[in-house]
Amino acid sequence: DVEQYLLRGAELEEAKRAGKHSPRIGDLLIQKSEEGVVVNLMQWDDYTSNFVFPGMMGSHDEKSRAFFASTKVNSVFVHTVGGSSNTFSEHQNKMIGFTHHQKFVVVDAPKEDGTGLELKAFIGGIDLTEGRWDNNTHPLFRTLRCEHKTDAYNGCFLFGRSTVIAGPR
């Protein structure tokens, strides 16, 4: 979700006061692209969403598509399609119910010897979407019933338990 904040609490308030870069993910990506950083965004395209219905998975893909449409951010929206051996039913089920959970960032970084730049990749980590956040103290479970009670989000699968009791998935 382009409106999600990357920081919380005192860190968020400090970032807002400093004002150099937005702590909101969408605004930050646009700011960096306008500074000359090549920003490539791959987001899951929820097959069940459109501009009227937000989709089963709450991925905010249509919102992101509109948000980045006239910016320098290169955004691509993809959905899982499965392999050529899938039946029609398997293909449709994968398009509707399976998401991309790959998280990666690739950046230009100074070489250790100072002779230029090299690509560095970071794999794994956070889900930059509604209700899934983390910081270096990992308080998610001990603060589920108070500060972060609305952060554990899963629009589809509760299986009879609330996310406050069961935790995020």
Top pLDDT among 60 and 129 is at 60
Choose from 7-21, 98-112, 132-146 the range with maximum mean pLDDT.
7-21
| In 31-150, beta strands by DSSP E | 40-44, 74-78, 104-110, 117-123
Q: Give the Cα-Cα-Cα angle 51, 57, 61 (nearest 5 degrees).
A: 40
Say which range, 23-37, 135-149, 155-169, has the weakest mean pLDDT.
155-169
Top pLDDT among 86 and 82 is at 86
For the record, the structure tokens of 106 come out as 């690739």
Output the pLDDT for position 77: 82
Q: Stretch 97-116: mean pLDDT, rounded?
A: 78
Nearest residue to 75 via CA among 30, 108, 43, 36: 43
CB atoms within 10 A of CB 142: 11
Write down the residue that tokens 């039913």 correspond to: 89
Output the pLDDT for position 132: 54
Output the pLDDT for position 115: 94
The rounded distance, in Å, linking the Cα atoms of 143 and 156 is 23
Q: Stretch 74-94: mean pLDDT, rounded?
A: 79
pLDDT digits (tens, 9 = 90+) for 149-161: 665 554 544 444 4
CA distances for 168 relative to 58, 59, 87, 144, 164, angstroms? 15, 16, 32, 9, 8
Please state the pTM of the whole predicted model: 0.66
Output the pLDDT for position 167: 46
Q: Stretch 8-27: mean pLDDT, rounded?
A: 88
Output the pLDDT for position 30: 95
Say which range, 25-34, 81-90, 112-121, has the weakest mean pLDDT.
81-90
